[in-house]
Amino acid sequence: MTTKLKEVDVVIVGLGWTGGILAKELAESGLKVVALERGAPRTSANDYSLPNIRDELRYVVRHDLMQNTARDTLTVRNNPTQEALPMRRLGSFLPGEVVGGSGVHWSGHTWRWTDMEFKIRSNYEERYGKKFIPDDMTIQDWGITYAELEPYYERFEYTAAVSGKAGNINGQIQAGGNPFEAPRAKEYPLPPLTPILASEMFSAAASNAGYHPFPRPSANASQPYTNPDGSKFGGCQYCGYCQRFGCEANAKGSPHMTVIPIAMRNPNFELRTHSWVTNVLKDNDGKRVTGVTYTNVLNGEEFEQPATMVLLCAYAINNVHLMLLSGIGTPYDPVAQKGVIGKNYCYQTGAGATLFFEGKYFNPFMSAGGSNATIDDFNINWEFDRGPHNFVGAYNVNGGFNTALPIGYRPVPSGTPQWGSEWKRATAKWYQTAMTIGASGSVMANRHNCYDLDPTYRNAFGQPLMRMTFDYKANEHRMGTHAAQVINDIAKSMNPTKLNPAVARTDPWTVVPYQSTHNTGGTIMGTNPRDSALNKYLQSWDCHNLFVVGANVFPHNASYNPTGPVGALAYWTADAIKNRYVKNPGPLVTA
Amino acid sequence: MRVATCAAAVFSLTLFLMAAARADGDAARGQARFQDCAACHKLEAGSNDVGPSLHGIFERKAAALTDFRYSPAMKRSEISWTPETLDKFIADPQAMVPANRMPYAGMASPNDRADLIAYLQKMSK
């Protein structure tokens, strides 16, 4: 028995950063907006303050803010010859499931992706020729430019209280910033966080090697701040509990303490929590969506919420899942290379070294999401010639810590026994003396890496699970090898007492342990409906009143964390809806 | 026990003398210092947020609001909020009330604290 509710202007599926931004913006423009969030309502005052926080067991081991895999999960495999099996416990990535979404438990790293990504195929073909790109590498231009997104990046950075140092303001290179970044109109809203010893040592070594270290931009307020919407931030206390936790000092830019409470105060907006959307409904000819069906997970009641416009703002994987379940757009077929929904799933790769310095005291319990230094010499530096190394893509290198939690952080030199009294002695001896240098690397789209619906396994609602087929390819192996060499050269130059060197990831990808919650692609944006699911305004090519927002729109994955462009694109889409779509509903780009 | 009480009394007296708040704070400058507090504390009555409302702070004892969830440490502290006690608390909250749940490392400058307290005296009424 499904209860049909009164029609609203906009229904938003999922209330994290993208849903929160769109909810606030569209409610303020006068539209009646309902958001459906599958998770619970949680607030800083009730939930992200003592004694409910700094609890590693609850949040890290038991995933308190993350998707419940007993209700819905994915099946995973490396290639089509394997049978995909359900991921019964979260590992490699951690989708949020709460009001605020993954924006509650992120670290805050906020980057601007540039035309190096948005024009990737054109860039590589122009410089290296068409043959440089392998046949099975399905990278494509995004159909958007950095210049178009620049004001929206700024908007997001000022909303989320990003601390950093500009490297390029209107073309003028700025000392202390990232010299390779694309020009920005304004400085960051806040100065960088206080560097920690480990990041200072890394920066010194990187400078000596001729690289260009800079403080990592991060939505951790380096001092008290009031954003342009009036949301108030406390200054970061360097407690080290960013990643996987809500911030107790209100210092980490998160949707639950910025855009969402503003939307909640607007009478045009209504939030329904514990509301699990099972289907996006279409009209008879499939040209428009008409609303969604959802289930209240507390009591099993089913509802139909009609809406003039539907915005999918759930976690990237779940947005794609909902498109496949609802039969919107043509599912991607990797054999025929036809269809678009599920295409170009990408992940990230990396390599890391641990350095031990007898006699140093790094105080690893004090850090913040952005308390490390970065070099982009092998990332958005187009002067770096990929030709001799034969890879497409990029990586950034970081030194320092973001977090060092009491249960999980036990650095020991390789060769130490993995348990027993010898291990205990080693963890005590080396705890204060260890620091890391790591690389985060891009993953290029590949025709075989994709999503579809699993033929066997179903979720608690009787719907097919999402199936993920993914593995790293030779391109990523070559890049990882290069990154490991750079990391190890910097590490050795610092002359550590002991070094666990970086090793390139060349084994098949597995769903354990945790690696990165930067899953991208599946409903990608692009210039035409043959190659992409959405136009540059994240509007469905198939149903013009459906917008799909999140990292699922990225045609490939860069080395940078995705939240910068995710937030910027949410503002960009909000403007397109408010200023153009509402006045003249229809396709914003002619196919 | 008796010796310990005496020692504690002498210790408190010393602290009191050392930490005597400056009375000449500037409320206008204190408004800017209040940025440090504003993400969690409001000044209107009944406006508890992450932290308790600061309305009427100088007329009450610590942990006096019935509709705010104070830490056991704050409940046990038996502090009466005065410009002097607040000055000492804000200088290093965990030193004065160990295990209180306010995530704030402290305001080091006595001048800044005097300005903040002048602002609070004006605005919390």
pLDDT digits (tens, 9 = 90+) for A425-447: 999 999 999 999 999 999 999 99
Distance from CA of B22 to the nearest CA of A (A): 24
The Cα A280–Cα A310 span in angstroms is 8
Q: What is the pLDDT of residue B20?
A: 54
Is residue A436 within 8 A of residue A352, CB to CB? The reply is yes
pTM, two decimal places = 0.95
Contact A234 B101 (CB under 8 A): no
Strand A225-226 and strand A232-233: the pairing is antiparallel
pLDDT of A310 higher than 90: yes
CA distances from A243 to A65, A432, A516 (A): 11, 21, 11
Contact B39 A251 (CB under 8 A): yes
Facing residue for B39 by CB, picked from A50, A224, A239:
A224
Q: What is the pLDDT of residue B22?
A: 72
Q: What is the pLDDT of residue A144?
A: 98
The Cα A218–Cα A368 span in angstroms is 9
Is residue B53 within 8 A of residue B45, CB to CB? The reply is yes
Could you tell me what percent of chain A has a pLDDT over 70?
100
Mutation target vs A (from B35, B37, B65, B75; most A CBs, 10 A cutoff) = B35
ipTM of the complex: 0.85
pLDDT digits (tens, 9 = 90+) for B77-97: 999 999 999 999 999 999 999
Tokens 């910068």: give the residue.
Answer: A564
pLDDT of B9 higher than 50: no
Query: pLDDT band at B21, cuts 50/70/90?
Result: low
Tokens 């230094």: give the residue.
Answer: A373
Query: pLDDT band at A223, cuts 50/70/90?
Result: very high
Contact B101 A44 (CB under 8 A): no
| Nearest 10 degrees: Cα torsion A296, A302, A304, A305 | -10
List chain B residues with CB under 8 Å of A223.
35
Contact B101 A51 (CB under 8 A): yes
Q: What is the pLDDT of residue A494?
A: 98
pLDDT digits (tens, 9 = 90+) for A448-470: 999 999 999 999 999 999 999 99
**From A50, which residue of chain B is nearest by alpha-carbon distance?**
B101
Contact B48 A232 (CB under 8 A): no
List chain B residues with CB under 8 Å of A250.
39-40, 50
pLDDT of B4 higher than 70: no
Query: pLDDT band at B24, cuts 50/70/90?
Result: confident
Cβ-Cβ contacts under 8 Å for A161 (sequence gap 6 or more): A189, A190, A219, A220, A221, A225, A227, A233, A251, A253
**What residue type is A92 in one-letter code?**
S
Contact A232 B38 (CB under 8 A): yes
Q: Does B65 touch chain A (CB under 8 A)?
A: no
pLDDT digits (tens, 9 = 90+) for A119-168: 999 999 999 999 999 999 999 999 999 999 999 999 999 999 999 999 99
If you average pLDDT over residues A4-13, what whole number do you get?
98
Q: What is the pLDDT of residue A531?
A: 97
Q: What is the pLDDT of residue A1?
A: 84
- Where is pLDDT greater, at A411 or B11? A411
pLDDT, chain A, mean:
97
If you average pLDDT over residues B38-55, what whole number do you get?
95
Q: What is the pLDDT of residue B8?
A: 47
Facing residue for A50 by CB, picked from B39, B40, B101:
B101
Contact B101 A224 (CB under 8 A): no
Q: Does B70 touch chain A (CB under 8 A)?
A: no
pLDDT of B17 higher than 70: no
Distance from CA of A293 to the nearest CA of B (A): 35
Q: What is the pLDDT of residue B16?
A: 44
Q: What is the pLDDT of residue A178?
A: 98
Contact B38 A51 (CB under 8 A): no
If you average pLDDT over residues A25-31, what whole number do you get?
98
**From B32, which residue of chain A is nearest by alpha-carbon distance?**
A224
pLDDT digits (tens, 9 = 90+) for A168-195: 999 999 999 999 999 999 999 999 999 9
Measured over the CA atoms of residue B45, residue B48, residue B49 and residue B52, the dihedral's sign is positive
If you average pLDDT over residues B118-123, what whole number do you get?
96
| Terminal CA-CA length for chain A | 39
Distance from CA of A249 to the nearest CA of B (A): 6
Distance from CA of B121 to the nearest CA of A (A): 21
**From B70, which residue of chain A is nearest by alpha-carbon distance?**
A50
pLDDT of A548 higher than 80: yes
The Cα A296–Cα A438 span in angstroms is 42
